[in-house]
């Protein structure tokens, strides 16, 4: 199937003028409505979209459940229940993107063989939300921007997902690479001439675009807000995509307890966190606003470039551009040096200017600053994008959390660059801070227990027992809701068919290595196509319907009860020292330890 750039799907009347075909933001008349709202509910646009999406996911989930091998349960009773599924893809550079691609492909009914028995195909079509940050955000952005195409189609494309030559977008063709960098120079100057400061994130975003988006324009005029006008989102044939980034002032540190988490959808950008608790129309980013109202007669569009926002979510990688100055290719070194000349030395900070949430009536520093400083979405330790999906307003019942983080180092008994549940612990701890806003997150163990019990080597369910979670509300001094959190199905990167623990900063992947990483991700999600556990598909289906059964007061079937006894975390903790040299093993008996 030919990959059609999403620009070809945008109606011809969308672009107000020729400026819409450039990287630089461009002037447009301001709308009469306020461009900022308080985060007391979902936007009207998302509510309208979700009401239609629920009607699509219901039949899709009904079909998926029917072929999941559930026993003693009439799955058709759930077809009108509006069970909402969220997919969360962690950060972790190209390791996270490629592993996540395989995990996503496993859930996609369009993937070859994904609809066979014991496979997982169709769950993607039944999902309501798909969130990513950093490397996971690259995956989400690339799939969405290329006409909601499949992973297999992107793999087959000769123009996209080519990662063998880092920082040379045209591979070994030096002349084409230099030509591309010169076009980036024009883009940067164009944005500056439009009155905007630029940062290294602009360059990083343009580099990502060359690998992830349409080859014809390298994503030059791909806008995040354009997805609301493309075929797939209005027709609700795909989940709502969400990018996650963190707020952080230069020269400061953040952790999950004090960070401000921002989300970006095709409709809005903003934060549910109490310090901000505002959203703005993402289409008008770049406009000068005060208390949500334009201060000038003209507004801007085009600031929401897809590559730029993907770069914002992964700004940790900005510093890698400086390494190009040491490359053996002096031509590219000079180009990068000239592009970055005069830019901020705070390499990991991206700037949204002007700050759309600027307010003279607020004492909050982030609301009084003319610039909005953002960093990599995993910099606060929450390397899995849970926050958008646990908001009570979205009513998500279950989150499939794909953790492709690199939590371990060389001294770990399982070797370096494997997940160890740090992101889970960070999101759990956040609920007990002011920024957590009292929104519940299921009990999870400490990272040492994750490794000692092997919870990072086999699927684990968190939040199975709702009765046990009532204490979360009692313990939380900031609690303002008694809504139970979604069930979390945790799937960590582990070596099923290849050792996939590459470094986060590995930038070069040949086609064969990329394919093997994607295949390993597929095997992670399917548990080796059900060969590790022949009931894995059925157990996943039990997890999907659990919250709805609990709302109805129904007990799990015997089959589901057996699944929960195997996959639900019981609250047990364990020290690595208790291993006594005997590493935990997957159900198939294969050790996952890598030295």
- pLDDT number for residue 2: 39
What whole-number distance in Å separates Cα of residue 381 and Cα of residue 182? 36
Cα(404)–Cα(151) distance, rounded to whole angstroms?
17
pLDDT value of position 35: 97
Distance between CA atoms of residues 340 and 319, nearest Å: 11
Domains of the chain and CATH, by start: 6-579 (3.40.1090.10)
**169: confidence class by pLDDT, cuts 50, 70, 90:** low
Q: DSSP character for 116?
A: S
Q: pLDDT tens digits, residue range 232-273?
A: 777 778 999 999 999 987 667 788 888 899 999 999 999 999
Work out the mean pLDDT of the chain and round it to a whole number.
87
For 194-209, b/e burial (b = at least 16 CB within 10 A) is bebebbbbbbbbbbbb
pLDDT at 587: 38
Q: How far apart are CA 267 and CA 305, in angstroms?
A: 14
- Residue 243: helix, strand or coil by DSSP? strand
What does the pLDDT average to over 477-485? 77
Q: What are φ and ψ of residue 298, in 5° steps? A: -120, 140
* Beta-strand pair 240-247/260-264: antiparallel
Distance CA 25, CA 303 (A): 5
Q: Looking at residues 94-107, what average pLDDT do you find?
A: 98
Answer yes or no: are the C-beta atoms of 251 and 53 closer than 8 Å. Answer: no
Phi/psi for 107 (5° steps) reads -90, -5
pLDDT band at 230 (very low <50, low <70, confident <90, very high): confident
Cis ω for the linkage preceding 354 (within 30 of 0): yes
Confidence of residue 216 (pLDDT cuts 50, 70, 90): low
277-321 per-position pLDDT tens digit:
999 999 999 999 999 999 988 899 999 999 999 999 998 876 666
**What would the pLDDT profile of 427-469 be if each residue is shown by its tens digit?**
999 999 999 988 999 999 999 999 999 999 999 999 999 888 8
Closest C-alpha to 311, from 323, 319, 299: 319
- Residue 535, helix vs strand vs coil: coil
Please tell me which residue, 4 or 196, carries the higher pLDDT value. Answer: 196
CA 212 from chain center: how many Å?
15
**Which of helix, strand or coil describes residue 307?**
helix
In residues, how long is the chain?
Answer: 595
Bridge partners of residue 585, in order along the sequence: 591
**What is the pLDDT averaged over residues 364-375?**
90
Contact 335, 181 (CB under 8 A): yes
What is d(CA 335, CA 168) in angstroms, rounded to the nearest whole number?
A: 12
Residues 6+ apart with CB under 8 A from 7: 214, 217, 221, 222, 226
Q: Is the preceding omega at residue 494 within 30 degrees of 0, hence cis? A: no
Phi, psi of 506 (to 5 degrees): -75, 120
What is the reported pLDDT for 325? 53
Would you state the pLDDT for residue 472? 84
State pLDDT tens for residues 28-73: 999 999 999 999 999 999 999 999 999 999 999 999 999 999 999 9
Mean pLDDT for 204-227 is 87
Question: Average pLDDT, stretch 142-147?
Answer: 93
């Amino acid at each position: 199937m030919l990959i059609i750039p999403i620009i070809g799907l945008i109606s011809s009347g969308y672009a107000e003028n020729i400026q819409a075909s450039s990287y630089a933001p461009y002037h447009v008349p301001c709308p009469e409505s306020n461009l900022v709202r308080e985060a007391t509910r979902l936007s009207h646009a998302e509510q309208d979209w979700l009401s239609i999406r629920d009607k699509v996911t219901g039949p899709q989930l009904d079909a998926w459940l029917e072929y999941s091998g559930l026993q003693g349960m009439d799955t058709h009773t759930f077809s009108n229940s509006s069970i909402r599924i969220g997919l969360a893809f962690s950060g972790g550079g190209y390791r996270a993107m490629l592993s996540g691609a395989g995990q996503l492909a496993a859930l996609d009914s369009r993937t070859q063989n994904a609809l066979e028995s014991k496979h997982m195909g169709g769950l993607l079509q039944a999902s309501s939300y798909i969130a990513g940050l950093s490397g996971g955000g690259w995956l989400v952005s690339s799939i969405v921007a290329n006409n909601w195409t499949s992973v297999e189609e992107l793999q087959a494309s000769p123009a996209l997902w080519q990662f063998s030559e880092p920082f040379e977008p045209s591979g070994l063709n030096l002349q084409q690479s230099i030509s591309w960098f010169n076009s980036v120079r024009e883009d940067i100057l164009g944005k500056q001439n439009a009155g905007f400061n630029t940062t290294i994130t602009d360059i990083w975003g343009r580099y990502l675009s060359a690998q992830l988006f349409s080859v014809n324009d390298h994503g030059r005029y791909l806008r995040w807000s354009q997805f609301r006008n493309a075929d797939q989102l209005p027709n609700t044939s795909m989940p709502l995509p969400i990018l996650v980034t963190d707020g952080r002032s230069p020269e400061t540190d953040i952790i999950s307890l004090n960070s401000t988490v921002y989300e970006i959808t095709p409709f809005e950008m903003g934060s549910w966190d109490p310090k901000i608790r505002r959203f703005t129309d993402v289409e008008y980013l770049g406009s000068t606003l005060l208390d949500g109202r334009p201060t000038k007669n003209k507004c801007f569009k085009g600031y929401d470039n897809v590559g730029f926002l993907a770069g914002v979510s992964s700004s940790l990688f900005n510093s890698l551009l400086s390494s190009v100055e040491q490359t053996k290719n002096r031509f590219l070194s000079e180009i990068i040096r000239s592009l970055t000349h005069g830019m901020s030395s705070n390499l990991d900070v991206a700037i949204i200017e002007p700050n759309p949430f600027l307010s003279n009536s607020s004492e909050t520093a982030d609301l009084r600053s003319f610039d909005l400083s953002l960093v990599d979405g995993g910099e606060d330790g929450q390397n899995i994008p849970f926050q958008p999906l646990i908001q009570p307003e979205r009513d998500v019942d279950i989150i499939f959390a794909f953790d492709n983080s690199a939590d371990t180092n060389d001294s770990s008994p399982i070797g370096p660059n494997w997940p160890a549940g740090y992101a889970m612990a960070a999101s759990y701890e956040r609920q007990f801070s002011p920024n957590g806003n009292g929104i519940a997150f299921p009990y999870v163990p400490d990272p040492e227990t994750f490794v000692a019990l092997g919870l990072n080597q086999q699927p684990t369910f968190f939040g199975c027992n709702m009765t046990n979670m009532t204490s979360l509300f009692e313990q939380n001094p900031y609690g303002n809701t008694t809504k139970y959190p979604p069930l979390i199905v945790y799937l960590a990167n582990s070596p099923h068919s290849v050792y996939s623990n590459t470094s986060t900063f590995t930038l070069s992947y040949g086609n064969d290595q990329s394919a093997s990483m994607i295949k390993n991700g597929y095997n992670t999600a399917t548990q080796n196509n059900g060969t590790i556990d022949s009931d894995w598909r059925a157990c996943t289906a039990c997890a999907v319907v659990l919250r709805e059964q609990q709302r109805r007061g129904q007990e799990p079937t015997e089959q589901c009860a057996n699944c929960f006894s195997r996959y639900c975390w019981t609250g047990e903790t364990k020290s690595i020292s208790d291993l006594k040299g005997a590493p935990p093993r997957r159900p198939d008996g294969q050790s996952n330890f890598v030295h």
